[in-house]
């Protein structure tokens, strides 16, 4: 189960980065938005121990 959550966490991270990087372009603001989105996803509890 932990491996599956880890896989989901990595996949979500790559997807968020790719989507925002493609839509907003490579910029410092994009990096900040990706970081905030990743923190929010990690704090939701959906990823279990892999979130924090």
**At 52, is the pLDDT very low, low, confident or very high (cuts 50, 70, 90)?**
low
pLDDT score recorded for residue 51:
63
How does DSSP assign 15-46, residue by residue? HHHHHHHHHH-S-HHHHHHHHHHHHHHHHTST
CA 40 to chain centre: 8
3-state secondary structure of 1: coil
Q: What's the whole-number average pLDDT of the chain? A: 82
41 close to 47: Cβ distance less than 8 angstroms: yes
Q: Tens digits of per-residue pLDDT, 5-30?
A: 888 888 888 888 888 888 888 888 88
Q: What percent of the chain has pLDDT over 70?
A: 90
Q: What is the pTM of this model?
A: 0.66
Task: Look up residue 31 and give its two tokens.
Answer: 């990096």
């Amino acid at each position: 189960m932990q491996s599956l959550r880890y896989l989901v966490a990595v996949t979500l991270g790559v997807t968020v980065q790719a989507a925002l990087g493609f839509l907003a372009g490579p910029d410092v603001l994009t990096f900040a938005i990706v970081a905030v989105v990743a923190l929010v996803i990690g704090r939701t509890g959906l990823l279990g121990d892999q979130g924090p």
